[in-house]
Structure 1
Amino acid sequence: MDKISLVYRNVQEVVTEDELNALLAKKKHPTAYVGYEPSGKIHMGHVLTVNKLLDFQNAGFEITVLLADLHAYMNQKGTFEEIREIADFNKRCFIALGLDPEKTNFVYGSTFQTDPEYMLNVLKLTRLFTLNRTRRSMDEVGRNMADPKVSQMVYPMMQVADIAMLGVDVAVGGIDQRKIHMLAREGLPLIGYEAPLCIHIPIILGLDGKKMSSSNENFISVDDSEAELKKKMKKAFCPAEELENNPVLQLFRYYIFPRYDEVLFKRPEKYGGNIICKKYSELEQLFSGGKIHPMDIKETAAEYLNNILGPVRNLL
């Protein structure tokens, strides 16, 4: 796959495409970053962004992963000591998921986020945006936003300042990060920095076809055992021949095909024998035409996901 195809693969939005195309033409090794609040559980949302970072690395980007320990502390995620321990563990998980530690710049937020220049930038940014807009930017990423703490209003300003201080060309994240990224595009030029390009990847459905939620237990976690993952996949929503809003097909599109040159669907000879797909579009064509059964793709998804998550399970 060529460089441009890798960068655009499985992306929901690029702000803006013209800027991205100009960047790719101008720089041999552009820079991109993703920020992660340290979390006790690495889940498939993390795997999705790691897959995108691998695409960027293969396209020649230099990658920074921000382990946002201070952000997590301000977002009510635990004591600073607990969060830093989780951040160390998360770093090991990201490496196990495929990020090359020799090619990836892992940065702890607390190593620069109390520096005078950084804090001055945060204060400058607080003068640019209203409280209402700042609160709206946190709606999808903040904890207990019905009654937010002051720290959670500073959080978006810090995320914007991160982009400036890390000096990256591209900010990458889920589409839930869009409102904060738009603050960065608007605010950074006003305090002397370039506006970043922003690349957003979609939020994936839960296994039941509804919004992914820990309360609904409709998600895959890396600490699910092989047997637990297989059990979840058997129950997953996968209507025959339906392509839209099909969470099992999404697993192939966003998680499996980006990592494998081909996918083998093992089937008994009486049902037509094995099928090999070399790209996701081939699977869509077969499935929509009724030539491959939902149970075949569920079982295959479980097999490949267990292979992907195996190295991370070994850290638990």
Structure 2
Amino acid sequence: MDKLELITRNVQEIVTEEELKQLLETKEHPTAYVGYEPSGKIHMGHVLTVNKLLDLQNAGFKITVLLADVHAYLNQKGTLEEVREIADYNKRCFIALGLDAENTNFVYGSDYQLGHEYMLKVLQLTQKTSLNRARRSMDEVGRKMDDPKVSQMVYPIMQAIDIAMLGVDIAVGGIDQRKIHMLAREGLPGLGFKAPLCIHTPILLGLDGQKMSSSNENYISVDDSEADLKKKMKKAFCPAGETEDNPVLELFKYHICPRYEEIVFERPEKFGGNLVCNSYEKLEEVFASGELHPMDLKNGATKYLNMILEVVRSVL
């Protein structure tokens, strides 16, 4: 797999692919970042962007992870002390998931976001951004947006300035970050900064087939025990033969198959014996045909996810 294939696999959107190709041609070690708001447990939705950082790191990119404690504070996720503690926990999770601790630049927002230069740039961008634009940018990521606070209107402005001050070429995030990233692309050149490229990953379904939500507890956390994982997967929505909007298949597509070249489904001989898939496409084909039963798919997902997460559990 060449660099471009590695970077673009399992993404929903690249803004723009032509700019990405040009960057790869002109810069030996480009830079990319993701900002994570420390607000609770790390789940497989977060891991999707970590996987993309791993792809970028393997493609020669220098990676920055912003542990956005000030953003979490502004988004009403706790006191600065509380969110800083969660940020430390997040950092340990990301390293355990495979990010190279020596070659990944972990930055706390509070280390630079309260400085004079940063705040001046934030104020300058507020002058160029309408209130409606700032509010629309927060629609997908803000808490209690039926009654937003002024701090939440500053949030997307700060995120744009983060991209500028960290000096990165690419901003990576879920597709829910798109409006904020577009604000950055349009607003930063007016302040003398380059417009960032953007890579957007999909939003994973929850295990019940609905939108993933901490309140619904329909997600897999990286610190779930083996027993927790088995219990959750047993109840997961997984209609036989259905390949669209199937959360168990999504776990294979985005998390398991990128890490393992060969997937072995262990079955008794009376049910056909072990089944081996060497690609996600093959897995989808055998599941759609009915050759692989939903329970066997769930059992396989449980086995491989446990292999991924046992490394994380060992350091928490």
Partner residue in 2 for 1:284: 284
Shift of 1:271: 1.6
Alignment of 1:106-121 (within 5 A): 106-121=106-121
Partner residue in 1 for 2:228: 228
Shift of 1:43: 1.0
- 2-structure distance, mates of 1:73, 1:216: 23
Residue 63 (structure 2) pairs with residue 59 (structure 1): no
Partner residue in 1 for 2:79: 79
Residue 147 (structure 2) pairs with residue 144 (structure 1): no
| Matched letter for residue 138 of structure 1 | M
Partner residue in 1 for 2:34: 34
Shift of 1:85: 1.4
Aligned residues: 316
Shift of 1:216: 2.1
Residue 209 (structure 2) pairs with residue 215 (structure 1): no
Summarize deviations over 1:173-224 as a string: whole Å, max 9, x none: 0000000000000000011000000110000111111111222221112232
Summarize deviations over 1:92-146 as a string: whole Å, max 9, x none: 1111111110111101111111222111110110011110110111111111111
Secondary structure at the counterpart of residue 57 of structure 1: helix
Summarize deviations over 1:265-307 as a string: whole Å, max 9, x none: 1111122211221211110111111111111110010111111
- Normalising by structure 2, report the TM-score: 0.98
Shift of 1:311: 2.1
| Matched letter for residue 108 of structure 1 | Y
Secondary structure at the counterpart of residue 222 of structure 2: coil
Partner residue in 2 for 1:160: 160
Alignment of 1:1-316 (within 5 A): 1-316=1-316
Which 4+ stretches in 1 moved above 3 angstroms? Answer: none
8 Å CA contact 1:11–1:202 kept in 2: the answer is: yes
Shift of 1:29: 1.2
Identity rate of aligned residues, in percent? 74
Shift of 1:39: 2.5
8 Å CA contact 1:12–1:201 kept in 2: the answer is: yes
- 1-structure distance, mates of 2:179, 2:308: 31
- 2-structure distance, mates of 1:263, 1:102: 31
8 Å CA contact 1:233–1:298 kept in 2: the answer is: yes
> What runs of 5+ residues in structure 1 fail to find an aligned partner?
none
Shift of 1:233: 0.8
- Calculate the aligned-residue CA RMSD, in Å: 1.1
8 Å CA contact 1:39–1:90 kept in 2: the answer is: no
Secondary structure at the counterpart of residue 77 of structure 2: coil
User: For residues 315 and 39 of structure 1, do their structure 2 counterparts lie closer, same or farther at Cα, with a shift above 3 Å needed?
Assistant: farther
Summarize deviations over 1:235-290 as a string: whole Å, max 9, x none: 11111111111111000000101111211111111222112212111101111111
Secondary structure at the counterpart of residue 264 of structure 1: strand
